[in-house]
A and B are shown apart, each in its own frame.
Chain A
Amino acid sequence: MFQIYCPYCEELREEEEFHPKGEAHIARPLDPEACSDEEWGDYLFFRDNPRGVHHELWVHAVGCRKFFNITRHTVSYEILETYRMGEQPTITAESVSGDLAGRESAATARQEGVRA
């Protein structure tokens, strides 16, 4: 079970109270009428599926019922930070590529070891 810090309730709560809502920071095109089909299709249907740091939208469904963002590592499942709507993450794939690279390669080695 995760213990997730809700930035609105300002404390750690059980994962059971939350629900993930997909990728965060997807901006609606400012002028939808002027979009090409490809741009509109990208906006509606295409999502990143990175190996590593990922920004996600979550909702504190049983609790304050507010949406907020989580920066999560998709390999280790580690939650690196949570922040309110409208704010920008302080931890991004670029900023952690240095210090997380070692940890990730260790995790990969472990997985491959299991598979072999």
Chain B
Amino acid sequence: MSNVNIYDSRADAAIPAESPLAFSYHRSGAPAAGAASRVVLRERPFLGHLILRGGAIVLDEAVRDELGMNLPGRPQGLVLDASGERSIQWLSPDEWLLIVPGGEEFALEGRLRERLGDASFAIVNVSGGQTLLELEGDAVPELLMKSVIYDAHPQHFPVGKGVTTVFAKTTTILRRPDESRWELVIRRSFADYCYRWLLDAGEEYAIGVVAA
């Protein structure tokens, strides 16, 4: 195992954690989701986000042994495990984003490092730097068409695809884990901006927010 010093960045449970959108809910409000809502926004804060870099073959082997999922080999690939809680997304030919339920990432990073041994790789825990927003409803593609430069038409964006692209004036990772849900991985420092953009863009679809 490589002699990298890793530490658990998650604070003890005794310290209350605030979601990246806590202040935004307070200041911009959170319209309640109702029967008329064609878009429902849900935040999934405090997940474990790991960036894996290295050769596809060694990483694929380690991830398959550890999590039972294949590393997406094709560009724009997104793979979920059976429970739908863990996902791996292709970001670049030597880079993948692994998202696991909050609290798992530290132990998982250690186990992956153990398995990868002396191979050439890098694992970075970016959980604190980004957050995940989930959009659900029939008007989501329409909302995305106003917000991202990538073609978000369902025909062009099948389930199991994820791209890094421009969202409003910032960047996002846009992904589609299943037929009804779309996910946005956004930077924590831009979370308020993205949230307010989504509220504004979603107003005509009576967007509703389910606060975390």
Contacts and interface: CB of A to CB of B under 8 A. Distances in A.
- The answer to whether A binds B is yes
Interface of A: 8-11, 13-14, 16-17, 62-66
B164 A62 contact: yes
Contacts of A64: 75, 91-93, 95, 164
Contact of A8 (B93, B163, B165, B171): B93
Given A62-B171, A64-B93, A11 B75 contact: yes
Contacts, number: 38
SS class of chain B's interface: helix, strand, loop or mixed?
Answer: strand
B149 A63 contact: no
16 contacts: A8-B75, A8-B92, A9-B75, A9-B163, A10-B75, A11-B76, A13-B150, A14-B149, A14-B150, A16-B149, A62-B164, A63-B92, A63-B165, A64-B93, A64-B95, A64-B164
A37 to B, nearest CB: 38
A22 to B, nearest CB: 22
Interface of B: 74-76, 91-93, 95, 149-150, 163-166, 171
A56 to B, nearest CB: 20
Contacts of B165: 13-14, 17, 62-63
Contacts of A62: 164-166, 171
